[in-house]
Structure 1
Amino acid sequence: MPSSLIRPNRRAVLAGGAAMAAVLATPSLVRAQSRPAFTHGVQSGDVDASSGMVWTRTDRPARIRTEIATTESFADARALAPIDALPESDLAVKRLLADLPSGQDVFYRFTAEALDDVNAVSEPITGRFRTAPGDRRDVRFAWSGDTVGQGWGIDAEGMRTYAAIAGRQPDFFIHSGDTIYADGPLEERVELPDGGVWLNEIVTPEKRKVAETLDEYRGQWKYNMMDAHLRAMNAALPTFFQWDDHEVVNNWSASKDLLSDDRYSVKEIGVLSARAGRAFHEMTPIRYVPEEPGRVYRKIAYGPHLDVFFLDMRSYRGANSDNVQTDRGDATAMLGARQIAWLKRALADSRATWKVIASDMPIGLVVPDGDTMFEGVANREDGAPKGREHDVAEVLRFIRAAGVKNTVWLTADVHYTAAHHYSPERAAFQEFEPFWEFVSGPIHAGTFGPSELDMTFGPEVRFVKAPPEGQANLPPSAGYQFFGLVDIEGASGRMTVRLMDRDDTELWSTTLDPDTTI
């Protein structure tokens, strides 16, 4: 694929965003006189050996025609039944492409016909992805989290970390949560401590306030997709999405108190989370789970060497609290009984070499919520499991008892990058086998850290890169933007994990052999 599609220059970033803003700002009467247009590119996601989800959005109600092929020229194109882009889903459509060959580059093409004029047909828009292999070939994927947070939006350079990820040509990318910042309004100009100025070159109406309505939540997603680097990556490879708190509001749980937050006229966290959840599923190519609509936790099998288990540490948690309950109950839930039961079954049934557990929050880092409550798993006590640590202890205990081998945890959330090794030799709770947890992010947000360790599960920092002491919320231009890269060798099954920055510099790496104590 031409490098210009992967690394748009400054002019392309600004021109692409300006053109898209112009389309969205054009009065509907004028737009009705022209052909339909696709407004935010394409996306693919949740790809396995025989299927994958695809997504796009139009500027008006339209009939979307889809073709798929195994050649970039679409010489062997197969047309699918059309679907309609309608206002009920904010003109976004997604569909499952099934019956695909394994280990194959798949090309897809959308065209849009105006519902009120079949002769008004859009220019086509295309994307691609690679299905999971059916044999033991090499696999590469990337992960990170945290996009457009803390007031840092699309500047003149655009969200460059996405270009660095795409340039590595991974099979897929895991977005580990905080995919949007619905609680993070943008201003055009931000004064920097060193006397410089950060300019958000694009600011939409939805990004000028906190999201409360369904359309405002949708607008958070549409803003991110105005970035040329992100759209280029989306067209070139699939993204597997998780969510965390900022998709709704910072540190949201049942105890979230918005009564004193004058930014919000809607004070009910349940109303906000329902609207945010609907926007999340409309605006991402996540699969629909018939037995539990709206579910985020799931497994994606990506060839004989890899199963990825996506956790949801947000939807089933108890209210944020002091997190020191000695007895388990609703108040201590982090994953919840149903998700834990699913995870146990799925791990026990997995025959993949590596079981990657994609977690939207780290296990052993202290993440507070104010002065007395906790947002994360850890409670800073270093002792036997209490509070939410009970859920993690149950999962780790099961992994050891069931003989599940080769588990690796990937996460984001804390806005710096690190490698943590967990061992019962260092832990207060010792009923588990050693494992690694790798942290990456942000993609394009403020940088913080490092966070305090809790020794309940015996973490040890093997690598960390974070801002210098006393510095916080550094802008993306400071360079502390990170992603992780994982390579699994097809022949040996060895896994190499690299921690990278947005300049595509390798900061640290380790290689893990399967079926050995790590």
Structure 2
Amino acid sequence: MAIATPAKRGLTRRQLLVRSASTAALAGLGSLARPYLSRAADRPQIAGGIQSGDVASDSAVIWACADRAARMRVECSASESFATILRTASADALPDRDFTAKLLLDGLPPGQDLFYRVRFDDRDGLAGESRVGHFRTAPDDRRSISFVWSGDVAGQGWGIDPARGGMRTYRTMLNDCPDFFIHSGDHIYADCTVPSELKLPGGEVWRNIVTEEKSVVAHSLAQFRGNYKYNWLDDNFRAFHADVPMFAQWDDHEVTNDWSPIGSADDTGYDEDGTSRLVARARRAFHEFMPMRLMPERDGRVYRKIAYGPLLDVFMIDMRSYRDSTWNKQGDPSEACILGATQLAWLKRELVASNATWKAIAADLPIGLVSLDAIALGDGPPERREHEIADLLSFMKRAGIRNTVWLTADMHYTAAHHYDPNRAVFQDFEPFWEFVSGPLHAGTWSPGELDNTFGPKAMYQKGCSAEQGDNLAPCFGLQFFGRVDIDASTEVMTVTLKDVDNRDLWSVDIAPRPDARPGQIMAQHI
């Protein structure tokens, strides 16, 4: 059965190109690298760019960063000319948040392309520069949806090389005109430095933009903040985030490699309550720079549900904040966890309550790829962290929760995994799909090993070859993202794995038929 690709809506390609050029002109690389040499000293300026996130049917979070203490002013309109203003709001950008500011715009119309204008005013009311961004609110009716996802940015020393186009995958995703973007984690590599040069095969040289904060492994709050600021030096990154709202989650490199709440510390150690100071600094910087809704009742953790109309609920889960220590294997195996009892109970409740056709579970890590830091440890029945996944999957079967897909990154290659109890050691679950994508802009790795606990089969995978070796530079084209389209008329979900040059590598259509087994394959396209 042929499925038509849903029509792209909203901004035209010309509008995107015009605004992208405007954004680049307003925030050129030179002004970002040397803000006080080229800017008017008496007016507040936007440091980096603007972005939106956690878009719902009637609201969105707006974020920006100033170059000094100032008041962020935001206007929202259905017209790019701002002839009519729908909403206005303001928030302070203060030193204790590194001059970042974010606010919630509410009372917005559903399913609309909206434009927002951001500026900073100083304490005397002197207005600074303004920039314009765009987002689309979630629909409250049945209409086609498209979104993209990926992860892993500026890792393994591969920073911004302007001569090689910078972070090109962001420009490619922008040209795809998605409704929103799920960032699956590793927004930064706080534990990886960015050197001025890296040698490439054949004698060429990769030349990075370098900053003081990205020249050392992050330990201080200023260094964690500097990791996020580094990404804003890229033209493609700024243009994309101004026009596409982001649903953000984190993984390990926002803190340090393989971190968990217990066992991750720097030389200053822990506070009296046992809190890791390194994790606390990293968590603070993450929330300062992400366009996320504030959820103080969850102690800074990032799990949440984002409803995107009748066809889609997105469940953003947190596989870091509750996990047991990766390196401590001496304790009771039954106490090992990846989600934690509180989050697992929340996820079950929300899945049961969801009336959306599709339920996308956005995860930090894949389920069946063998890794000491992840979930799967090798073939056999569930052990350690796999017990939580087994519990969740069997619950979903008993509760009749269908039409779920798992989306993730982390592995630095792209793959489509189909899980089937007929291939599994643990069999108390319904078949489902898991799709892996990334890196957005980092080293590429070769495909990993799958275990048989939940019966995954790699239907497609692409990464480095043995001849190329791991940690292949971004300039070799093996940078990946995924695209999801949900057709309003058929409710079919089409998942396409794509590369930095926007080539369709592999695609599958999945039908949510009530009379068919969940996750039934309709067609695969190579």
How big is the shift at 1:4?
A: 3.3
For 2:74 and 2:26, locate their aligned partners in 1 and report how far apart those are by CA, in whole Å: 29
Q: Compared with structure 1, are the counterparts of its residues 48 and 194 closer, same or farther at alpha carbon in structure 2 (3 Å cutoff)? A: same
2:490 is aligned to 492
Within 5 A, what are the aligned runs for 1:89-104?
89-104=97-112
Q: Compared with structure 1, are the counterparts of its residues 242 and 492 closer, same or farther at alpha carbon in structure 2 (3 Å cutoff)? A: same
Segments ≥4 residues shifted beyond 3 Å: 1-9, 12-15, 30-33, 254-258, 264-269, 321-327
Which SS does the other structure have where 2:227 is aligned? Answer: helix
Q: Compared with structure 1, are the counterparts of its residues 433 and 325 closer, same or farther at alpha carbon in structure 2 (3 Å cutoff)? A: farther
Are residue 19 (structure 1) and residue 31 (structure 2) matched? yes
1:88 is aligned to 96
Are residue 429 (structure 1) and residue 426 (structure 2) matched? yes
Give the alignment partner of residue 188 of structure 1, picking from 167, 175, 196: 196
For 2:186 and 2:437, locate their aligned partners in 1 and report how far apart those are by CA, in whole Å: 12
Counting matched residue pairs gives 496
1:479 is aligned to 477
State whether residues 264 and 278 of structure 2, in contact with CA within 8 Å, keep that contact through their aligned partners in structure 1. Answer: no
For 1:133 and 1:299, locate their aligned partners in 2 and report how far apart those are by CA, in whole Å: 16
Give the alignment partner of residue 246 of structure 2, picking from 229, 239, 244: 239
For 2:347 and 2:264, locate their aligned partners in 1 and report how far apart those are by CA, in whole Å: 31
Q: Compared with structure 1, are the counterparts of its residues 6 and 161 closer, same or farther at alpha carbon in structure 2 (3 Å cutoff)? A: farther
Which SS does the other structure have where 1:317 is aligned? Answer: coil
- TM-score w.r.t. length of structure 1: 0.92
Letter in 2 for 1:320: T
State whether residues 360 and 413 of structure 1, in contact with CA within 8 Å, keep that contact through their aligned partners in structure 2. Answer: yes
Q: Compared with structure 1, are the counterparts of its residues 401 and 79 closer, same or farther at alpha carbon in structure 2 (3 Å cutoff)? A: closer
2:3 is aligned to none
How big is the shift at 1:209?
A: 0.4
1:2 is aligned to 15
1:72-120, Cα deviation, whole Å (9 max, x unpaired):
11111145343221111111100001111110111111122111x32x3
- TM-score w.r.t. length of structure 2: 0.90
Give the alignment partner of residue 184 of structure 2, picking from 165, 176, 184: 176
Give the alignment partner of residue 34 of structure 1, picking from 38, 42, 58: 42
How big is the shift at 1:7?
A: 6.5
1:507 is aligned to 505
Within 5 A, what are the aligned runs for 1:212-227?
212-227=219-234
Are residue 145 (structure 1) and residue 151 (structure 2) matched? yes
Letter in 2 for 1:469: A
Are residue 69 (structure 1) and residue 77 (structure 2) matched? yes
State whether residues 178 and 245 of structure 1, in contact with CA within 8 Å, keep that contact through their aligned partners in structure 2. Answer: yes
Greater shift in the superposed pair: 436-445 or 59-68: 59-68
Within 5 A, what are the aligned runs for 1:117-516?
117-118=124-125, 120-156=126-162, 157-200=165-208, 202-254=209-261, 256=263, 265-267=267-269, 270-321=276-327, 327-329=333-335, 332-367=336-371, 374-380=372-378, 382-470=379-467, 471-515=469-513, 516=516
For 1:213 and 1:326, locate their aligned partners in 2 and report how far apart those are by CA, in whole Å: 34
Which SS does the other structure have where 2:213 is aligned? Answer: helix
For 1:133 and 1:196, locate their aligned partners in 2 and report how far apart those are by CA, in whole Å: 48
> Alignment identity in percent?
52
State whether residues 324 and 386 of structure 1, in contact with CA within 8 Å, keep that contact through their aligned partners in structure 2. Answer: no
Which SS does the other structure have where 1:401 is aligned? Answer: helix
Which SS does the other structure have where 1:54 is aligned? Answer: strand
State whether residues 356 and 407 of structure 1, in contact with CA within 8 Å, keep that contact through their aligned partners in structure 2. Answer: yes
2:8 is aligned to none
Letter in 2 for 1:400: K
For 1:14 and 1:465, locate their aligned partners in 2 and report how far apart those are by CA, in whole Å: 37
How big is the shift at 1:491?
A: 1.0
State whether residues 326 and 386 of structure 1, in contact with CA within 8 Å, keep that contact through their aligned partners in structure 2. Answer: no
For 1:95 and 1:432, locate their aligned partners in 2 and report how far apart those are by CA, in whole Å: 41
For 1:51 and 1:110, locate their aligned partners in 2 and report how far apart those are by CA, in whole Å: 16
State whether residues 6 and 229 of structure 1, in contact with CA within 8 Å, keep that contact through their aligned partners in structure 2. Answer: no
How big is the shift at 1:290?
A: 3.4
For 1:165 and 1:31, locate their aligned partners in 2 and report how far apart those are by CA, in whole Å: 31
For 2:445 and 2:318, locate their aligned partners in 1 and report how far apart those are by CA, in whole Å: 23
State whether residues 177 and 412 of structure 1, in contact with CA within 8 Å, keep that contact through their aligned partners in structure 2. Answer: yes
Letter in 2 for 1:192: L
1:290-331, Cα deviation, whole Å (9 max, x unpaired):
3223120000000100000011000000011476988521xx
Which SS does the other structure have where 1:328 is aligned? Answer: helix
State whether residues 147 and 178 of structure 1, in contact with CA within 8 Å, keep that contact through their aligned partners in structure 2. Answer: yes
Letter in 1 for 2:168: R
Letter in 2 for 1:390: H
For 1:13 and 1:505, locate their aligned partners in 2 and report how far apart those are by CA, in whole Å: 29
1:59 is aligned to 67
The gaps in structure 1 that reach 5 residues or longer are 259-263, 368-373
For 2:56 and 2:264, locate their aligned partners in 1 and report how far apart those are by CA, in whole Å: 40
State whether residues 17 and 226 of structure 1, in contact with CA within 8 Å, keep that contact through their aligned partners in structure 2. Answer: yes
1:28-79, Cα deviation, whole Å (9 max, x unpaired):
xx97842111011111000011111010011111122221111111111145
Greater shift in the superposed pair: 434-443 or 316-325: 316-325
Q: Compared with structure 1, are the counterparts of its residues 8 and 464 closer, same or farther at alpha carbon in structure 2 (3 Å cutoff)? A: farther
Which SS does the other structure have where 2:410 is aligned? Answer: coil
**What is the CA RMSD across the aligned residues, in angstroms?**
2.2
Letter in 2 for 1:342: W
1:247-281, Cα deviation, whole Å (9 max, x unpaired):
000111256466xxxxx644558111111111111
Q: Compared with structure 1, are the counterparts of its residues 326 and 49 closer, same or farther at alpha carbon in structure 2 (3 Å cutoff)? A: same
Are residue 110 (structure 1) and residue 118 (structure 2) matched? yes
